[in-house]
Structure 1
Amino acid sequence: MTTFRVCWCFHRKFRGATDGPPKPIKDLFSSYSDNGFMGLDHLQRFLVEVQGETSATRETAKKILESRDSKHVFQKKGFNLDGFFRYLAGDDNPPLNPSLGVYQDMTAPLSHYFIYTGHNSYLTGNQLSSDASDVPVINALQRGVRVIELDIWPNSTNTEVEVRHGRTLTTPAEFSKCVRSIRENAFVASPYPVIITLEDHLTPDLQAKVAQILIETFGEMLFYPKSESLEEFPSPEDLKLRIIISTKPPKEFLESKSMKDKEHELQKKSEEEPWGESDGDFEHKIEHDHDEHGEEDHDDGDQFYHQPTAPEYKHLIAISAKKGSHKELSDSLKVDPHKVSRLSLSEQSFAKAIVSHGPEIIRFTQRNLLRIYPKGTRVTSSNYNPVLGWIHGAQMVALNMQGYGRSLWLVHGMFRANGGCGYVKKPDFLLNTNQDGKVFNPNTTLPIKKVLKVRVYMGDGWRLDFHRTHFDQYSPPDFYTRIGIAGVSADTVMMRTKAIEDNWAPFWDEEFTFPLTVPELALLRIEVHEYDLNKGDDFGGQTCLPVWELRSGIRAIPLCNRKGEKLNHVKLLMRFEFL
């Protein structure tokens, strides 16, 4: 008996590379070339008239041609169509000017800058049960983060200092190892100062040990204040290659026996059975503490031991920190003309404060530092919207760098500005008062100051960075682009292109217009997704760019993965115009 096997096979064809430049690029090339040749004069005119590079000369055009592959350039004297397209879509044509570098004034006080700030910088994952390590500290510094937070606690024998998230199941890291890693990586990405915020839960003898470790590790890199309090913060320029310690000045009164017993009991409970509750109860407990008892953030520097402070430790505190609750906010936000400090607020307290004390917050941040940190219920290391902090003048908008998501993408976008040095100068309107003595109000709808037009031409590179079945098992992907603005409420918007079916190199050619009332605080959000009706849309790449540094003209936009790491080949070709 003969057996016949029938095989039903589904055949589908993956499209190859794009069929060359899209029509708008062909039309542009035709306008700036003769007989299929774009010479020096043509290219210079294109740079001035389309790319907005008004200072471009024939020498500028010559350097561009000389840097290109000779296969697409006629004797280094001009582009053919393919060479022109490859130039536009290449790495040499980014949306931000790489030669700009650090261009902002870096000689103003620290309070005049947004500062790239991390929260619980030592955690490798979630806030409840991940490991503490120096690895995420290294990663943050290499990315350009300028504020590193370390929670410091006694070890189980009260003889050494360790870094861990107190009253959780997170494993500890060695304090001295974290400090050494900071020294070795502090200025890899930027020469501007690194601020270490210490959340201190130590006895005076261990504070003395911390002081010894810091002095031995950093030596002359440490910035020492000349007096117990600063009258004004030094500038980033003055503090180049320096390490700054910031923490709450320890309380200096003797503890009673009952207080000592109570704290010993709490510490023992936290080490043996953190909270004594399940994960769900843990989240509820912290949320309850925040909402009912003011800002009881257990990892933000509350002192366990009320003994005389080790003088050598106190001497190292260059930026004095304090913590405010909503009840005490009016007092916390008072501006002392003879002293500056750092105030910390949780995201919930800050959200309430901007409603009741908006002008006072902005006035406070003109001289003092404001740090905002995630609420304790963010045990998965999620984050809040950082823009709300920036538009109210907060310098240290601290985010959990261990995860990923749109909040972190916005932070990455903000600190691409000013050469990626980790310090971005605040706009003047956040630093000044008007003739009536009033400060900037982010909730006021202002006149339109600038209009940004964005045309999304096309995208490519996914076929090289992703497996051919990554998005769909049996067909090429259906990509669409989401594009919008993050900024003051009047400017914030999100739009999208249509989905292009079955194409690895989608061509949209759609234009979007963004009227901006405060372009100085606007970030351009770009995301690509793959439409899938059945299983939900897939992620295809993202980036975020500071509008105030966007170069006009046709630019190649590299996209990043969810963690903010640049994909190898994926780019969008877009055009920016400012009206």
Structure 2
Amino acid sequence: YDSGECSYCPWTNHMQYPDVSLEIMKAGSVLRKAKSRMWRGHRHYKLQDDCKTIAYKSSWAMNSYSTFSVGDVEAVREGHESDVFLSVADEYPPERCFTLVFRGRRGNLDLVAESAEEAQAWIRGMQTLIENLQSMGESEKLDQWISDLFLKADRNKDGRISFKEVRRLLKLMNMDMNEDHASSLFRMADKSQTGFLGSEEFVHFYKMLTQRKEVVELFQEYSSDGQTLSHCDLEEFLREEQLEGDRSQEHALELIQRYEPSDTAKANHTMSIDGFLMYLTSADGSIFNSEDQRLYQDMTQPLKHYFISSSHNTYLLEDQLKGRSSVEGYIQALKRGCRCLEIDCWDGSSGEPVVYHGHTFTSKILFKDVINTVAKYAFKTSEYPVILSIENRCSVEQQKVMAQLLKDILGDMLLRTTIDGKVPSVLPSPEELKGKILVKGKKIGGLESLDADNPVSGEVSDEDDSSELRRDSLTTESLPSDSKQSLTKELSDLVIYCKNEHFNNFEHARIHGKPYDISSFSESKARKIIKEAAADFAQHNARQITRVYPSGLRTDSSNFCPQDMWNVGCQMVALNFQTAGLEMDLNDGLFSQNNRCGYVLKPEILRNSEQQFNPDKPQDRKDYCPLILTIQVISGQQLPKVNNKVGSIVDPFVRVEIYGLPADQATQETSYIENNGLNPCWNETLEFAVHTPELALIRFVVEDYDMATKNDFIGQYTVPFSCIQSGYRHIHLLSKDGTSLRPSSLFVNINITEAS
């Protein structure tokens, strides 16, 4: 390393640049793990020579090391950036503290180094390793995965594996292969004829094992010479199968340059089977149109015209009665593109407001810590406005503290006046509010009285989210639903475009409603209105913003299906982000488009308040044009195991679910394939009629069939119908909590036609 030369990693084809931080990590460090104010312990951590694994052991654990993968770490935070460090901030200087944030639902790891220099070495080193992994191409990621397989199989770590180890590996790879066939492939790969496979021989074995027959046949169908695709061959494929039309010629040449691994083939403007497979498994070959993943929508419409990614009781990481409150909830929600955060504020014993689920056993966190967290993370994922939905249960004294903290901590980010100094006739757009944080809450009077002489405090009806919650909850709040609560002018003045307003009825809202009024409904009340007056609800939501939140009966932090609310144009459908499952899959699917900015422009049918759109009768709209979606589910690749027992292998099947208007809700599934999670082939066709495609979401689910018990979840992927690409496409599966399961995927052929 001192020489400045680069080392080359044969598994990743990735240059590992010299970094003294990595050398310090390889030498190992004794770091203190901070778990709470009461519990702290020392552990020895060191980076393994593969630069992919961190080994650690407790001081009392002799030589027994545990490990975790660098790939499991999503980010590194410096200083006091966790609940634990905030609680012990007086004990450890921030320059010695750092937090490893893991993907999925695994808890964070808070560590304290002996010195600031050692902490910086681990911070810089981990950041370098994470960036290296993130910058890998698809081919490099696959090589990395093969490397991990080889290391798992090589149990005695001698750099080679026997056929016995290969058989064990096949079980780990989720495949029950005929032993004679496996033995034959093993002998073919054993070029050295030693009865063992070295690393390069194992790569050859793996490629024979996972040869994609369906891709080879497709390749040869369009290849003029059976060996390569000329740029004309590829152009024809793009035009005929991928339906790329006029841009197919120039795109063919771009794809060859981007994905063909052979320089000779590139020079000849041809693509090999390896390049063709790399294209099909890339972002260009994904079912999700990459053009729709960029910021492609008009962001200059009024706020009311957007679906806004919204969370409920954002501070909670677990259930609603005794779960932990944490600033981590806000960090994770913001990282997922959430733009409306909920903050329940109550008087704290030390004169500082606290955040927790009132009258429950949930833990408490300081309001100022929440606002500090929002200030730091608000615009890291999206530059568009963040809305703080304040549930205010504080005394007048602590409301003043809240208002001052908001102003002091958020500074210029906090929206404190209308953007042009005038009372709005229509809400501003996300574009006009970029980089701004808005307060949603109760307000004394309206914006019309901004320049008038107001009293220091006023009374407002306690008719907002919380009063609705009391009527829909097992728990009882201290205030009766018809009570009045004092509200300070300081806090009231910070509510600009998002004033909580009790909903009486649609006629009252149409006549008296202001553009900045927001009404909140429990899911049960919203469902009742949808059932009785869906068309009126859709018209209301074309004029004003509506927020819907989970029933108070959902004490386990479960979620309701947001699709019903989106169908009538409800903008803020608040979900418990900490709870994985179908509902969050739909939320992530809807907001995965438009650069994941947290704002999705509603379809025109839900933006026009003059248009009588009835979600129950889509055929009555003027431009009614139903579509037929045909999905050929061809094959699956490297599906993960769901049972860690060595002999357990999945029996996978695919279910396709359509979510949208009631007329579009549908589910179909393939048969199951016995004992094959490595490369199952279905070749089954599913067909759906979609009456309102602009509101539909398509969810692909892979499960492990079980005749006797409930099927086990393997992976899923949810995509807006409007973002689907036709043709031969790969679907890269996600885990239950939305993290990538690469290289696990489905291979499908998509065809969309007008219904006759």
TM-fit CA distance, 1:71 = 5.1
The equivalent residue for 1:276 is none
Q: Which residue of 2 aligns with 1:451?
A: 628
Give the AA of the match of 1:315. D
Alignment of 1:89-108 (within 5 A): 89-100=281-292, 101-108=294-301
Q: Which has the higher helix share?
A: 2
Report the equivalent of 2:582.
406
Counterpart Cα distance in 1 of 2:670 and 2:237: 27
Report the Cα distance in structure 2 between the residues aligned to 1:154 and 1:414, rounded to whole angstroms. Answer: 37
**1:148 aligns to what SS in structure 2?**
strand
Q: Structure 1 residues 379 and 241, CA, compared in 2 at 3 Å: closer, same or farther?
A: same
Cα 1:562/1:181, change in 2 over 3 Å = same
Q: What displacement does 1:427 show?
A: 0.8
Deviation string 1:42-101 (CA, Å, 9 cap, x unpaired) is 112212221122242544222222222525973453222343233212344222233441
User: What is the one-letter code of the residue matched to 1:311?
Assistant: K
Q: In the alignment, is residue 322 of structure 1 matched against residue 515 of structure 2? A: no
1:429-477 C-alpha deviation (Å, 9 max, x unpaired): 11225xxx55210011525522211111111122xx548x53x653532
Tell me if structure 1 keeps the 8 A contact 2:515–2:543.
no
Deviation for aligned residue 1:228: 9.6
Task: Label 1:418 to 1:81 Cα distance change in 2 as closer, same or farther (>3 A).
Answer: same
Secondary structure of the corresponding residue to residue 490 of structure 1: helix
> Which of 118, 138, 156 is the matching residue for 2:331?
138
Contact residue 223 and residue 244 of structure 1 kept, 8 A:
yes
Pairwise CA distance, 1:254: 7.0
Matches within 5 A, 1:298-377: 306-307=485-486, 309-322=487-500, 324=502, 328-330=504-506, 333-336=509-512, 339-377=515-553
Matches within 5 A, 1:459-474: 459-462=636-639, 465-466=640-641, 470=644, 473-474=646-647
Per the alignment, in what secondary structure is the counterpart of residue 288 of structure 2?
coil
Unaligned runs of 5+ in 2: 1-166, 183-205, 446-456, 463-467
The 5 Å alignment of 1:385-464 reads 385-433=561-609, 439-446=612-619, 448-462=625-639
TM-score, normalized by length of structure 1? 0.84
C-alpha distance in 2, partners of 1:72/1:161?
Answer: 64
Match of 1:113 in 2: 306
Q: Distance in 2 between matches of 1:493 and 1:107?
A: 34
Moved more, 81-90 or 298-307: 298-307
Which residue identity is paired with 2:311? Answer: G
Indicate the residue corresponding to 2:319 in structure 1.
126
Partner residue in 2 for 1:290: 472
Q: Out of 95-104 and 15-24, give the one that drifted further.
A: 15-24
| Cα distance in 2 between the residues matched to 1:51 and 1:186 | 39
Distance 1:28 1:300 in 2: 69
What letter matches 1:14 in structure 2? D
Task: Compute the displacement of 1:305 (Å).
Answer: 7.2
* Contact 1:20-1:82 within 8 A present in 2 as well: no
Worse-superposed segment, 335-344 or 568-577? 335-344
The CA deviation at 1:385 is 0.8
Q: d(CA) in 2 for partners of 1:299 and 1:48?
A: 66
Structure showing greater relative contact order (alpha-carbon pairs closer than 8 Å, 6 or more residues apart): 1
CA distance in 1, matches of 2:289, 2:517: 35
Following superposition of structure 1 onto structure 2, how do residues 141-156 of structure 1 map, counting pairs within 5 Å? 141-156=334-349
Asked if 1:14 corresponds to 2:176, the answer is yes
Code of the residue aligned with 2:281 in structure 1: it is A
Q: How many residues are paired up?
A: 528
User: Are 1:493 and 2:685 counterparts?
Assistant: no
Deviation digits for residues 316-365 of structure 1 (CA, Å, limit 9, x no counterpart):
1023433547xx33466435475431000000111111233323322221
- Give TM-score, length-normalised by structure 2: 0.65
Question: SS at the partner of 1:56?
Answer: helix
Choose from 399, 403, 424 the match for 1:207.
399
Separation in structure 1 between the aligned mates of residue 599 and residue 459 of structure 2, nearest angstrom: 40
Unaligned runs of 5+ in 1: 1-9, 260-285
Deviation at 1:204, TM superposition (A): 1.8
Distance of 1:160 and 1:99 partners within structure 2: 47
1:287 and 1:221 mapped to 2: Cα distance?
Answer: 30
Equivalent residue number for residue 236 of structure 1: 430
What is the alpha-carbon distance in structure 2 between the residues aligned to residue 312 and residue 111 of structure 1? 26
Amino acid at match of 1:413: G
Hey, what does 2:687 align to over in structure 1? 513
Equivalents in 1 of 2:225, 2:479: separation in Å? Answer: 67
Change (3 A) 1:306 1:69: same
1:51 aligned to 2:242?
yes
